[in-house]
Chain A
Amino acid sequence: RKEVEQDPGPFNVPEGATVAFNCTYSNSASQSFFWYRQDCRKEPKLLMSVYSSGNEDGRFTAQLNRASQYISLLIRDSKLSDSATYLCVVKTDSNYQLIWGAGTKLIIKP
């Protein structure tokens, strides 16, 4: 079992719709959680950190469920520019190393 698992997609979603995807992690001692965004053939960039209480940044909402060991990302009122691959990232221990999911590809259609 992979340490961090994501549905690879692609998720094909019409513009303006709401889309959500989950990421599960296997290490219950995981400490920190993040979503990165990667555009096609580009480098990953931090989208948002995921806090225990959940957090929102504009149209983006991230949630953490420690009991079930998953994090989620919700995108409201999706834009064409949201098309990208979304990478789930988990920090498992004090050695700081990050464990990366393979990513979920999102395609927003006009």
Chain B
Amino acid sequence: DADVTQTPRNRITKTGKRIMLECSQTKGHDRMYWYRQDPGLGLRLIYYSFDVKDINKGEISDGYSVSRQAQAKFSLSLESAIPNQTALYFCATSDLVSTNSYNEQFFGPGTRLTVL
């Protein structure tokens, strides 16, 4: 079984609709992240969470919100979807790190979202 799972894997929706993307992990990691990937651009960070009570905005948080329901679950919501939010969305996890070190990020399989 995959360590990081995302649902749904594909979603087509209309402008103005509310959408929730869900992420679950069995790796026991404290840190979770939401990224979006667009053609010709690198992954861009939307939100990240260091633990259940710690949520932080990333580079492109406008138009998105998140909820960390438990250590293992991190959901991304688009309150009112718009076409330029069409992208591939990835959830990722990593283990706790000290300030000046880094641990590998493990990604879910991605959710392909299309907003018409």
- Interface segment, one of B14-22, B40-48, B65-73, B79-87: B40-48
> Inside 8 A of B45's CB, which chain A residues have their CB?
97-98
- Of A8, A34, A41, A42, which one neighbours B40 at CB under 8 angstroms? A8
The answer to whether B102 and A96 have CB atoms under 8 Å apart is yes
A1-28 to B contact mask, C-beta < 8 Å, 1/0: 0101000100000000000000000000
B41 neighbours in A (Cβ, 8 Å): 102
The reply on B97 being an interface residue by CB < 8 A is yes
Choose from A8, A32, A101 the contact partner of B102 (Cβ within 8 Å): A32
Our pick among B58, B99, B100 for the contact of A97 (Cβ within 8 Å) is B58
* A45→B107 contact, CB < 8 A: yes
A-contact 0/1 string along B26-50, CB 8 Å cutoff: 0000000000000011111100100
Within 8 A of A (CB), among B76-111: 90, 97, 99-100, 102, 104-105, 107-110
Q: Is A91 an interface residue (CB 8 A)?
A: yes
In the complex, the answer to whether A100 meets B102 with C-beta atoms within 8 Å is no
Tell me the bound Cα distance from A73 to B94 in angstroms: 24
19 A-B pairs within 8 Å (CB atoms) are namely: A2-B42, A8-B40, A42-B109, A42-B110, A43-B110, A44-B90, A45-B107, A46-B104, A46-B105, A87-B43, A94-B99, A96-B97, A97-B48, A98-B105, A100-B42, A100-B43, A100-B44, A102-B40, A102-B41
Chain B contact residues, CB within 8 Å of chain A: 40-45, 48, 58-59, 90, 97, 99-100, 102, 104-105, 107-110
Where the two chains meet, the residues of A that have a C-beta atom closer than 8 Å to any C-beta of B are 2, 4, 8, 31-32, 34, 41-46, 87, 91, 94, 96-103
User: What 13 new A-B contacts, CB under 8 Å, besides A34-B102, A91-B102, A96-B97?
Assistant: A32-B102, A41-B110, A42-B110, A44-B107, A46-B104, A94-B99, A96-B99, A96-B102, A97-B45, A98-B45, A98-B105, A100-B43, A100-B44
